[in-house]
Chain A
Amino acid sequence: MNNKRGSLILKVIIYVVCVFLAILSIAPFYIMIINATRSTVQIQQHAISLLPSTYMMKNIAILLGKSFNPANGFVNSLIISTGATLCAVYFSNMTAYGLVVYNWRFRRPFFSFIMAIMMIPAQITMIGFYQMVYRIHMTNNFLMLILPAIASPSMVFFMRQYMLPSLSMEIIQAARIDGAGEFYIFNRIAMPIMKPAIATQAIFCFVSSWNNLFTPLVLLTDQKKYTMPIMVSLLRGDIYKTEYGSVYMGLALTVLPLIVVYLILSRYIISGVALGGVKG
């Protein structure tokens, strides 16, 4: 009896904590969306309102009247993130395939090497990277943000772990007997088998490229080339200091697409995160 009561109390505590945390996750975004439709005066009087107001279009007009250009940032981020994701996914699979299928002399050392460089952060090498890019006059060139994705050690690691059990040597042998070339086998047989792994890794690569602030902030100086995070950072500037409503609007415009995509893909994303942990 006592035990039953204890677990009931525990259950209540669990739900209270979880609901509180859920509200904590949603509230900032809810306040943001509501305030995006309110005027600066309304926000100054009461910073929180449960109901939207009618100043949405006005806030958008003020927002776009200054240097904020979300459509442009959206397109730029889309180009960079898509390019980086395609490069990372294709070449990581290629490298993993080289490590799994062929028996070559430096196979083991090369894999150890990939594990060793997995943690090297791009930020630390930024001064040298910037100087290199500056010398070849490639700042403001999206390729410098896309091509480095070809060497994504952690994705190679993940793809190899997935490929080892799922790609059987018999299929490859059979294809070879049928006269298929090595690249044909990789593109037409190995890549389709890797689809589930590609899907989760592509989502994460895309999101981290989309959210990256540091590298684009260093390399891109041309306003027309700004990515979404740089565009967002403009909202912190003096020109929007007194325009609370339009700052919320600017933030909402950048967040909403992400939230919608997240809610659609949440199942894959959560299981992808879980997989990332198991590799450890």
Chain B
Amino acid sequence: MKRKHSGYAKWGYIFCLPFTIAFLIFTLYPIIFTTVIGFTDCKGLGTVKFHFLVDDPFLNFKNILANPSFQKSFRNTIGMWICNFIPQIGLALLLTAWFTDNRNHIKGKGLFKVLFYMPNIITAATVAILFNALIGYPMGPVNDILMTLGITDQPINFQVNKAVARGSVSFIQFWTWYGYTMIILISGVLGISPEIFESAEVDGASRIQTFFYITIPNLKTILLFTLVTSLIGGLQMFDIPKLFLLGGPDNATLTTSVFIYNQAFSGSYLYNRASAASMIMFIIICAASAVLFFTMRDKDEAELEKLTKQQEREYRKMQKERRKSHE
């Protein structure tokens, strides 16, 4: 049926051309260029000339991997992401279970959704500086509340205590993202056939049983989607750690993105090392997104492929048997 339209095939190329050109210029070329710079001695403000490192091509990569600041920033990034993601997905799942259970009859769900999602829409740079003002020491709003409620006797200096500083960054990330995750999960639950829930209710399943044996298994793909996209976002955490405590105290909130930015664009202008660090992060992100890619790929397509292969195998088997019987 498609055969007769083949005269229009060239239009397919034409319509996809602007995308391809923009991709080549603004994404592919910078990737290649970044990789190349990782193998050179390109550093210093305004440098455009560089030489390849002939003696030891992987010098920058080795330097970065051995760099204590980079190691620390990587540990911080992963640590702060985990401390934000686990409570985030936990709370989002809890709220999803509550909001999608019709037996609860919650009023104002729409308003709650709007309010929970609101922090996500606000500029992250603004959020970081707002929180920096809120945790002011000795007299900031947060300390004011903690002391009025009697949680602490003395004001906490968030800017000096490393664990508290990291926890605060995780909290800000959590605060910005749990609403988003919740909305995604709710839409996932609404996509599950209601008959499954009805039959579970008829069978006398409790709320908790329904949640663990029906909701969670059916949300598997969406949970994976959330996990991977959050991980990829978390690996690039920049605005909040950069502006909240400027990576401090003592690099406690330094993330890999802030590290790369500081290496390349403030003070030292070590483009080559920053490129090497970028490529290391790029490989990690690629691995994470490969997982997502293979699970999100059109499932029909995967099944179709399987089917064709099976048919081929059977056909071959048949032929073999036929040959055997002939012999």
Contacts and interface: CB of A to CB of B under 8 A. Distances in A.
B253 to A, nearest CB: 14
A11 interface: yes
Interface string B131-154: 111101001110111000000000
A229 B129 CA distance: 11
Contacts of A131: 33, 37, 42, 48, 271
Interface string A244-260: 10011001001100110
Interface stretch (A17-25, A60-68, A194-202): A17-25
Interface in B103-147: 103-106, 108, 110-119, 121-126, 128-134, 136, 139-141, 143-145
Given A273-B180, A277-B187, A280-B221, A119 B123 contact: no
Contact of B19 (A29, A91, A123): A91
Given A28-B134, A251-B130, A277-B187, A270 B31 contact: no
Interface string B288-315: 1100110011000000000000000000
Contacts of A127: 30, 33-34, 37, 260, 264, 271, 274-275, 278
B93 interface: no
A211 B123 contact: yes
B248 interface: no
B139 A247 contact: no
A280 B296 contact: yes
B59 interface: no
Contact of B26 (A47, A151, A156): A151
A109 to B, nearest CB: 11
Interface in A206-241: 207, 210-211, 213-214, 217-218, 228-230, 232-233, 235-236
B117 A236 contact: no
A98 B187 contact: no
A275 B190 CA distance: 11
A4 to B, nearest CB: 11
Interface stretch (B62-70, B157-165, B195-203, B232-240): B232-240
A147 interface: yes
Contacts of A122: 27
Given A103-B5, A213-B239, A21 B278 contact: no
Contact of B141 (A31, A121, A262): A31
B8 interface: yes
A35 B133 CA distance: 10
Contacts of B105: 11
B122 A255 contact: yes
A162 to B, nearest CB: 15
Interface of B: 2, 5-6, 8-16, 18-23, 26-27, 29-37, 42, 46, 48, 95, 98, 103-106, 108, 110-119, 121-126, 128-134, 136, 139-141, 143-145, 175, 179-180, 183-188, 191, 221-222, 224-226, 229, 232, 236, 238-239, 242-243, 246, 257, 260-261, 264-265, 271, 274-275, 278-279, 281-282, 285-286, 288-289, 292-293, 296-297
The 6 A-B pairs of least Cβ separation, nearest first, read A98-B15, A128-B33, A277-B184, A102-B12, A104-B12, A280-B225
7 contacts: A117-B27, A131-B271, A147-B26, A153-B23, A262-B121, A270-B117, A277-B222
